[in-house]
Amino acid sequence: MLKEFKAFAMQGNVMDMAVGIIIGAAFGKIVSSLVGEVLMPPLGLLIGNVDFSNLYFNLSGQSFASLTEAKAAGAPVVSYGLFFNTVIDFIVVAFVIFLLVKQINRLKTGPTPAAPNTKDCPYCLSTIPLKASRCAYCTADLKTA
């Protein structure tokens, strides 16, 4: 059983998947940083000096100055600002994955094949140029064919 597990774990697909997961996790951190530190501050400034990571609904009825203070006091809160940041993270990751898959599919299909420039003679089945009006091999008139 140990040999089977070793063979399974060392297969190319499993190793490729492991590398993909590790790179995906690192990419997720980069995107979270991009959204949290680069995209959201200007968006919050445009909306009216709003810090999205500090937006929340307080369910306890008490008053708190920030989300951190409310969580430290153990108050039940709905952190919709953090949720909004997470949704933006997801949209950015999904868009980048879409672009990546689109490029990979384009590379897989390769260039479109060139149009044929020859045809077969209907009489002797020899290969002749597409624009030929008479077969070079059997001298048949191709205009009447």
C-alpha to C-alpha distances, 73 to 29, 43, 56, 92, nearest whole angstrom: 29, 29, 14, 34
The pLDDT tens digits for 85-110 are: 888 888 888 888 888 888 888 887 76
Sequence spans of domains, the chain: 2-112, 114-145
Please, are residues 88 and 95 in contact by the beta-carbon 8 Å criterion? no
Please, are residues 27 and 90 in contact by the beta-carbon 8 Å criterion? no
The pLDDT tens digits for 109-127 are: 767 778 889 999 999 999 9
Q: For tokens 């094949």, what's the residue?
A: 113
- Domain 2-112 matching CATH 1.10.1200.120: the answer reads yes
